Structure 1
């Protein structure tokens, strides 16, 4: 037993929130830990385990129950019910999972838990093991929620601009949507504020970002919690290439389009000539917005690769596909996004601005046009445009629709305008700094080494 403990060192149990955008960053972090000699076990829900064949040659995969083993979140009648049931079932089955491993040759000595699951820290403390809170959103967004949770930012917001240390002055449209649109999705807002309900008891606070990207806010946040940046958590193949065979995220809960030849299609296009459109797995655009997007693309006359669900493709204007195909555009229902963004043909990423997509674009040096929809996306757009200066945020009309002229104008500016030329300088800067962060001796790499060292002592 002692020999095996010595061989593996610490054993980390990683507990992500059960959605693809939360599982993949934590899975990638586990791969980093394993590459440095630490044993890591990723715990996914029974439902997700049934829904996908998640396998890894290095990270152990185990399961727990969130109370919705047969149908996932779709079984829940409300988000409130879902969260209550997840805490009750999750606390019980997480404890059982820990007990199982404690009887093995490699007992768990740290739980890395998603910040959406603060009850996991209580379970860890019951067993006398370390707890590390893992934030999947940016430091800036997390700090806004921290201020709101502690009453340092009064809701609804009435005084503008909002001034928070480490952040630029924020207008109402720059804030996360659950704060800027007061009363919208109150259960989700409570979920986000509850991330900080017991974070002061956590032994570590890990964030999927890198220091040079959010230097000012990181410096401020470390004054109030033991926070360290460990990102960007994208496969090593696209950064330092130090982890063998790490070229994708492993988990995909959405069916890849078997007929898609998007990479072959991109390979036929000139360098920097293609606009890539993808709005994540949770965004559903209204028919009018899809029409405006389509016509903005058509009028711009750029090549485009559009990831659109079958239900969204049905909303496209009649004859649009036929009129624009002529080798100008390609529609797919899902794409290998990292391969797409790293392709030489990529010129611009038209995105909803979710954090995973944003940090991928930053890490791969792709300028963005952001059309935020909800949650953290509006604040990510603020930073992309005004702080990192590697993209533009589109402006919606009084009905919340982004018109074709606005879409066309932003695409032209990024693809061929003077601002676009300046943006490319900044995208290269952030790409280089992302690489620097994870390479040996970089800030994120050093932080992970310190984390592992503390686990082993």
Structure 2
């Protein structure tokens, strides 16, 4: 999902500023079993004077206070919360992590903050108002906004600048970790004399590809008028990567807000202290090495932040837990999990083709559809597939589902979180990218890491109107799903690759693994920066 910049400039009133609440995000939740490997967090209690008290106040002044500023999308909010919890758990008593979020987004992460309160790790929530952009009460992220109002969420990401700057100057944290579109935090951090790190929920492979393609943007625009034009990604290590112009992100093909702000965003990223990426080195070699060389002063590869061993059915919102019980009635590795993220909006025509394709595949499936989806299946379809298929409306516990032994394949839009979670769980992937960098992620899945295959090879794909086929037909979906689940050389190959990646992901986050080391290196670097002052910063070139 792209959140590098706003996609709209329509009028919206300025958001409120100055009103904030420190709280412990303590909902009434059923007990959740904890795994020993899971990052744990503590509750903090709110005093009458607005200060917070943790499980132990001893030495609280010596804690490294890190503020985390996620953008307004679950795919960014959830992994950044995982990161905050992980840093607090890595050094209990040394790190205090604060999530700076709006009220409705605070509710989404409350279960994650609450689930390991007894561990005594210092994680807290600092709430600020969501900017007034004409959305309904409680609509504060892309997952809950109607498709036609997505631009309002992007507009809110611009208007929140004033609130962010005010809160950071008031609370003066020791370090700031902020999402990509909040480039202005680099300026505030420099003013406060503290490190600012960019958090990337998207892997380094797509980032490098987009960076390098942006340098040849003029050539891409010139070639875009010729149907079927394919470009090779320049200066990318490893095997050659080619992609049709129709599958490139729109900012590379036409002028928009992101095309105008891309260089500015990258300049502020490079001027900052460093970059944190939700990936692990073994998934993206040699791209991590190249990224460290060209795109960050310091690079920390800390993923996968969501491991199946520490999943919770309430991570990221209220989930349908019945689907896990349903999965337990199915044979091992037999179910196709179908989910296109929290933001995708399929047309009614495409949804019906997908429904018919899943029916015709004759494979067990678990399909997640948006809660606001309508006319998504033909009449009588649910009755015909009853028992073999299950539909979840709204939010599903994806990490828990992918970790279930009955899941044998994942039909996905190739959002980075989904790619990473599938690799971590060792689940082979069927790719159906929809927007932005997802077509680039697909190349990593199918061509580089080789733990997946495309759903459809038969038509033009892309995110821009008029360039893509109107719908992927049911017969193609049925053929791809059934073929992917059959035993054979292709299936054996992707399963072997998926199992290998799962083992490497576990090793990365285990003690002395690459991601484990980078988390501790990150904390050490921030502690040293606080003690000795920031090293000379690169000049910011807006």
Q: TM-score normalised to the size of structure 2?
A: 0.73
Q: What's the CA shift for 1:200?
A: 1.5
User: Aligned to 2:101, which of 33, 40, 44?
Assistant: 44
* 2:127 alignment partner in structure 1: 63
**Aligned-residue offset at 1:311:** 4.7
Q: Which residue of structure 1 lines up, in the alignment, with residue 59 of structure 2?
A: 3
Contact 1:94/1:123, CA 8 A, preserved across alignment: no
CA contact (8 A) 1:116 1:191 kept: no
**Superposition CA RMSD, Å:** 3.0
Deviation, 1:389, is: 1.1
Report the counterpart of residue 363 of structure 1 in structure 2.
424
Aligned counterparts of 2:497 and 2:268: Cα–Cα separation in 1: 37
Structure-2 separation of matches of 1:166 and 1:213: 14
The separation in 1 between residues aligned to 2:266 and 2:214, in whole angstroms, is 7
User: For 1:446 and 1:91, how far apart are their aligned partners in 2?
Assistant: 33
Q: 1:417 & 1:189 partners in 2: Cα distance?
A: 45
User: What's 1:115 paired with?
Assistant: 180
Structure 2 unaligned segments of length 5 or more: list them: 1-56, 224-229, 461-468, 529-542
Distance 1:324 1:370, change over 3 A: same
CA separation in 2, counterparts of 1:78 and 1:264?
35
Give the deviation of 1:160 after TM superposition: 2.7
Deviation of 1:165 after TM superposition, in Å, equals: 2.1
275, 282, 291: which one pairs with 1:205? 275
Which sits farther off after the overlay, 407-416 or 338-347?
A: 407-416
Whether the aligned pair in 1 keeps the contact of 2:68 and 2:100 (CA below 8 Å) is yes
Give the equivalent residue in structure 1 for 2:6: none
What are the residue-to-residue correspondences of 1:80-119 with 2, within 5 Å?
Answer: 86-87=157-158, 89-102=159-172, 108-119=173-184
Q: Is the 8 A contact 1:439 1:445 kept in 2?
A: yes
**CA deviation after TM superposition for structure 1 residue 21, in Å:** 0.7
- The alpha-carbon distance between structure 1 residues 154 and 449, as it changes in their structure 2 partners (threshold 3 A), is farther
Name whichever of 144-153 and 365-374 sits farther off. Answer: 144-153
Cα distance change on mapping 1:337 and 1:77 into 2, 3 Å = closer
Equivalent-residue separation in structure 2 for 1:201 and 1:29 (angstroms):
22
| CA deviation after TM superposition for structure 1 residue 247, in Å | 3.6
Higher relative helix content? 1
8 Å Cα contact 1:173/1:378 also seen in 2:
no
Distance 1:318 1:155, change over 3 A: same
Aligned ranges for residues 68-79 of structure 1 at < 5 Å? Answer: 68=132, 72=140
Aligned counterparts of 2:350 and 2:150: Cα–Cα separation in 1: 27
Query: Aligned partners of 1:121 and 1:210: how far apart in 2?
Result: 25
Distance 1:424 1:324 in 2: 27
Are 2:394 and 1:330 aligned? no
Partners of 2:264 and 2:359 in 1: CA distance:
44
User: Do the aligned partners of 2:140 and 2:153 also contact (CA within 8 Å) in 1?
Assistant: no
Query: How far is 1:230 from its partner?
Result: 0.9
* CA shift digits 1:183-240 (9 cap, x unpaired): 38x23555666531311211111111111111111111111122221111104xx25x
Alignment of 1:132-151 (within 5 A): 132-149=197-214
SS of residue paired to 1:12: strand
Aligned to 1:105: none
| One of 275, 281, 299 as aligned partner of 1:227 | 299
The answer as to 2:249 corresponding to 1:178 is yes
| Per-residue CA distance 1:18-64 (angstroms, 9 max, x = gap) | 21110111100111110122111111124534777564334111123
Say yes or no: does 1:415 pair with 2:485: yes
Contact 2:315 2:397 (C-alpha < 8 Å) held by counterparts: no
Q: Aligned residue pairs: how many?
A: 436
- Separation (CA, whole Å) in 2 of partners of 1:175 and 1:125: 40
Deviations along 1:140-172, one digit per CA (max 9) or x if unpaired, are 111123234556885427473232322542333
Number of the residue aligned with 2:38: none
CA–CA separation in structure 2 for the residues paired with 1:295 and 1:205: 44
Query: Partner residue of 2:451?
Result: 390
Change (3 A) 1:151 1:171: closer
Alpha carbons 2:304, 2:509 under 8 Å: kept: yes
Change in Cα spacing, 1:289 to 1:51, as seen in structure 2 (3 Å) is same
Q: In the alignment, is the contact (CA less than 8 A) between 1:276 and 1:305 conserved in 2?
A: yes
Q: What does residue range 251-290 of structure 1 map to in structure 2 within 5 Å?
A: 251-252=316-317, 256-257=319-320, 261-290=322-351
Cα 1:90–1:392, aligned 2, differ >3 Å: closer, same or farther?
Answer: same
Contact 2:71 2:157 in 1 (8 A): no
1:370-381 counterparts in 2 under 5 A? Answer: 370-381=431-442
1:131 aligns with 2:196: yes
